[in-house]
Amino acid sequence: MKRILLLVTVFLVAFGTVQFSATAQETAEKDYIVVLKSAQTDSASIHTLKELGAEIIFEAPQIGVVTISSEDPSILQKLEENSKILAVAEDVDIRIFDGEAEALNLQEVGKAASVQPDLYEQYQWDIKRVTQNGESWNINPGNKETLVAVIDTGVDFSHPDLKDNLVFGKAFFPGARPGEELKDSGSHGTHVAGTIAANGRVKGVGPELAIASYRVSNNQGRMNWTGILSAITTAADDGAVSANLSLGTYSIMNDKQDRALHLSSKRAVQYALQKGMLIVGANGNDGMDLGKRMKTEPGKGKVYDGPLFDTFTSIPGVISVSSSTNRDTLAYYSNYGSSNVHLASPGGDYGPNWPNPENDSSKRDLEARTLSTIPVAQGSYGWKIGTSMAAPKVAAAAALVKAQFPELKAQQIATRLQQTAEDLGKPGHDEYFGHGLVNVYSALQ
């Protein structure tokens, strides 16, 4: 049966990183993720797959991962028994129900007479927090030779705060049509891109950085697992310094299905690091202590066998980011874990009085969320909360460190960000904030 993982939103605010429920669905034709023994897709392996009656749906050729489709009910067994195949699993259909961001009411704030950062000054506490009120821009705001990859739902290339920094877009989903690589299938990717490098009424962490969009969701919000891996490897080939992944799934290491996910994503991460690209991942929004043996709920018992991990951020070499608030506390939704958080970054919430026992939404502080760009057709500027909003600040910080210290390698950049982070919570590394809150100003000194 095909497992469906759902990326969902709450209060019509994108949480980005997957919150999922497993749903059973029987279909005559099924898709499978195939991890070849070969480190790259080779003609012999592709020929073998076709001989078994498989249709090739998508490839990540640099790392030997293929999505196939077949109506043969015995195909899984045939694939598992084949000497050219390392692991195989039914495909994971990732859908992002991003919903519309809550757009900022521009009638209330007025229209800027010129391109001035008025919305940054009024609302973007999160950008101010990590850039020391913009002081880091006086050291290095980035440059157009330093590229950050946004692997997401796409980016609106017509946005006035982004268009000068957007250098190209590519699409990584089956059936993509020309032009779709320049659009956002929702609003999530555009919000992430603005967090990294907006330069107009709102500001990003690195307002002069170059951004490339690697769109991995189709117009229905569905993502292809191999497409995500192909986006990662292609971004590395394109010379991106860092890549933001505000998406993912959870994995159980001893599960056969999850083994294929973990092996394939590990290959993508290692390929990226070899090419010099650092991956920054959102740690998830279920308020869970990742890495525990199992999750239980009173009256329900075991929910899943553990230990449970976020598939990408559990891989060595990926910077895992938790979400903090405007009060420097851990956001109520943010996942955490002693071995699963490297850095914290502002992702916003609804203030100190939400959630509350009465479920009284009138107590929410709406300006405790994060403001960034959204597609022009949806209002241009909008609010979201989540680890999805926290991770891109770290991806931008990594790129700025590279711009300032071009001799540093990917892992050295990660180390510098950790060593210069502002310690929050318990002294030293802890399960909520990792090494601390990312501090761009200190990292560039």
Q: What is the distance, to the nearest Å, from the Cα of residue 76 to the centroid of all Cα atoms in its chain? A: 30
Look at strands 343-346 and 319-324 and give their pairing. Answer: parallel
- Match 């990226």 to its residue by tokens: 272
- What's the CA angle centered on 233, arms 230 and 238, to 5 degrees? 115
What is the per-residue pLDDT for 108? 79
C-alpha 7/C-alpha 222 separation (Å) is 9
Strand segments (E) across 234-298:
242-245, 250-252, 278-282, 294-297
Query: Which residues, 6 or more positions from 420, have their beta carbon under 8 angstroms from its beta carbon?
Result: 439, 442, 443, 445
Q: How confident is the model at residue 273 (pLDDT cuts 50, 70, 90)?
A: very high
Strand segments (E) across 347-406:
370-373, 381-384
Provide, rounded to the nearest whole percent, the portion of the chain with pLDDT above 70: 88
CA-based nearest residue to 248, from 17, 1, 87: 17
pLDDT in tens, 404-433: 999 999 999 999 999 999 999 999 999 999
Question: For helices 387-404 and 188-197, what crossing angle results, to 10°?
Answer: 40
Whether residue 188 is predicted with pLDDT greater than 50 in this model: the reply is: yes
Question: What Cα–Cα distance (Å) separates residue 336 from each residue in 18, 45, 110, 393?
Answer: 15, 40, 39, 18
What is the per-residue pLDDT for 17? 39
Peptide bond connecting 316 to the previous residue in cis, omega within 30 degrees of 0: no
Amino acid at 268: A
What is the per-residue pLDDT for 248? 78
Bridge partners for 310 per DSSP: 250
Q: In what order do the strands lie in the sheet with 92-96?
A: 3-7, 92-96, 222-224
Look at strands 3-7 and 92-96 and give their pairing. Answer: parallel
CA-based nearest residue to 345, from 253, 272, 263, 280: 280
Look at strands 92-96 and 381-384 and give their pairing. Answer: unpaired
C-alpha 51/C-alpha 155 separation (Å) is 39
C-alpha 317/C-alpha 270 separation (Å) is 8
What is the per-residue pLDDT for 19? 37
Q: Are 70 and 53 in contact (CB under 8 A)?
A: yes
DSSP H stretches of helix in 186-255 = 188-197, 225-237
pLDDT in tens, 345-381: 999 999 999 999 999 999 999 999 999 999 999 999 9
HSE-up of residue 45 (Cα within 13 Å, Cβ side): 23
Peptide bond connecting 346 to the previous residue in cis, omega within 30 degrees of 0: no
Q: What radius of gyration do the chain's Cα atoms show?
A: 21
Across 55-69, average pLDDT: 96
Q: How confident is the model at residue 107 (pLDDT cuts 50, 70, 90)?
A: confident
Count the neighbouring beta carbons within 10 Å of the beta carbon of residue 25.
10
Bridge partners for 382 per DSSP: 103, 372
Q: How confident is the model at residue 117 (pLDDT cuts 50, 70, 90)?
A: very high
CA-based nearest residue to 188, from 169, 227, 215, 226: 215
C-alpha 445/C-alpha 436 separation (Å) is 17
Look at strands 13-14 and 3-7 and give their pairing. Answer: unpaired
Whether residue 111 is predicted with pLDDT greater than 60 in this model: the reply is: yes
C-alpha 147/C-alpha 264 separation (Å) is 24
What is the per-residue pLDDT for 371? 98
pLDDT in tens, 201-230: 999 999 999 999 999 999 999 999 999 999
Provide, rounded to the nearest whole percent, the portion of the chain with pLDDT above 90: 76
Tokens for 328, please give them. 């420097």
What is the per-residue pLDDT for 98? 62
